[in-house]
C-alpha cells in the first residue's frame, strides 16, 4: 500500500514538473446562456493522494467553454498545501 501511494505521489510530482504556464489572449469572458454542466469544484478523497480543485470557465458567444483554469490544492501527503495552476483550452470548428 505504501509503495502504491509513493508511486501516485511520484506521478503527480512528474505531472507538476512538466506543467508549463502559458498566456492566453482569448476573448473576454461571456456569461453562458442557460445552465451549464461544468464542474466548479472537484474534491478527491480516499486512499492515496487527495486534492481539491476549483475551476473557472470562460465561454464564447455560443455558450461553449473556451478556457478552463483551475487551482489544485494537495490536501495530504508530503506535498500537503501545495497549489498547482491548471489550464485547459478548447477549440471548435464552426
- pLDDT tens-digit series, residues 33-65: 555 567 789 999 988 899 999 999 998 888 899
Strands 83-89 and 51-59, bridge-based pairing = unpaired
Q: What local confidence, expressed as pLDDT, does residue 94 receive?
A: 85
Whether the predicted model's global pTM rises above the 0.85 cut: no
Q: How far is CA 6 from CA 9, 17, 65, in A?
A: 5, 16, 35
- The reported pLDDT for the residue numbered 15 is 54
Domain boundaries, the chain: 2-18+40-89
Mean pLDDT of 61-74: 92
Amino acid at each position: 500500500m505504501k509503495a502504491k501511494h509513493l508511486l501516485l505521489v511520484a506521478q503527480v510530482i512528474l505531472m507538476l514538473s512538466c506543467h508549463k504556464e502559458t498566456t492566453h489572449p482569448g476573448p473576454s469572458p461571456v456569461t453562458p446562456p442557460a445552465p451549464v454542466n461544468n464542474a466548479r469544484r472537484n474534491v478527491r478523497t480516499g486512499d492515496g493522494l487527495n486534492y481539491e480543485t476549483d475551476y473557472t470557465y470562460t465561454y464564447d458567444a455560443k455558450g461553449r467553454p473556451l478556457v478552463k483554469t483551475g487551482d489544485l490544492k494537495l490536501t495530504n501527503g508530503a506535498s500537503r498545501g501545495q497549489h498547482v495552476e491548471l489550464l485547459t483550452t478548447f477549440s471548435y470548428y464552426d
